[in-house]
Amino acid sequence: MHTLKNKTAVVTGAASGIGKAIATAFVAAGANVVLCDVNRQALDAAVAELGPSTTGRVADVSDETQVEAVMRGAREAFGSLDIVVNSAGFGAITPLTELTAEKWRAVQSVTLGGVFFCVKHAARQMLEQGRAGVIINISSVNGQQPAEGQVAYCAAKAGVDQITRCGALELGSRGIRVVGIAPGLVETPLTRKELEDPAMRKLFLDVIPMGRPVEATEIAAAAVFLASDDAKSINGHTVVIDGGSLTCGYPALLTGLKR
């Protein structure tokens, strides 16, 4: 088993879904974990469930001041900041010609801007402490392939992939690895509503060779590996975990439902 003993991690979007699964796996691997989310109620419940190795911070990752405080506070509380996972993000299924400026900005500010702020301030803390660190950005297959109705999300996740590469390029020589994970379809509270529609679920499953969604625990297992010393030469790469969906193309979320 990969160990994260004596490591301190910050996980954003940690109150549910992929973020919570990663926080859970990090605790099991021996890490102290600061869970961050905007949902205080869900965050408090997650911290209570995961136990004394965790603490919660309500934070909006689109606000740089809040992000800086989280990263600095984690280092001050535990003595170091070793791992940061940027999982917070969301999208919207809306035709490009109907997407409002407000919705576009909202997606970009959290899903792209939040990752940038977290990488920036995590790296600053890691550089100041003079101790190697790992930053993991949760991207998506939509960073590599287009999807109907998801222009804002696809653009944001493509940007996340480039932040990962640029971060690896600039920080690798200074002891900080920046890597990514690109999940395919994962059944989480954010996707469950759409997947309860049988027609929508069929559209997704028809383009996954393995015929099932990815489990959040599978993403978490990859995060533990990437954060561990067993992955010490992996830098600037985004690992795709999608059941093979990139081999088939993305489901037609707008026109497919009209057929």
Catalytically active residues, by annotation? 153
Pull the structure tokens for residue 219.
Answer: 């993403």
Q: 3-state DSSP helix/strand/coil percent for the chain, to nearest 5?
A: 50, 15, 35
Q: How far apart are CA 184 and CA 162, in angstroms?
A: 18
**How far is Cα of residue 161 from the mean position of the Cα atoms in its chain?**
11
Q: How far apart are CA 148 and CA 24, in angstroms?
A: 33
Q: How far apart are CA 207 and CA 233, in angstroms?
A: 32
CA 108 to each of CA 14, 61, 74, 186, 189: distance values in angstroms, whole numbers, following the listed order: 19, 11, 25, 21, 21
Residue whose C-alpha is closest to residue 214's, from 237, 244, 194, 239: 244
Contact present, 253 and 150 (Cβ < 8 Å): yes
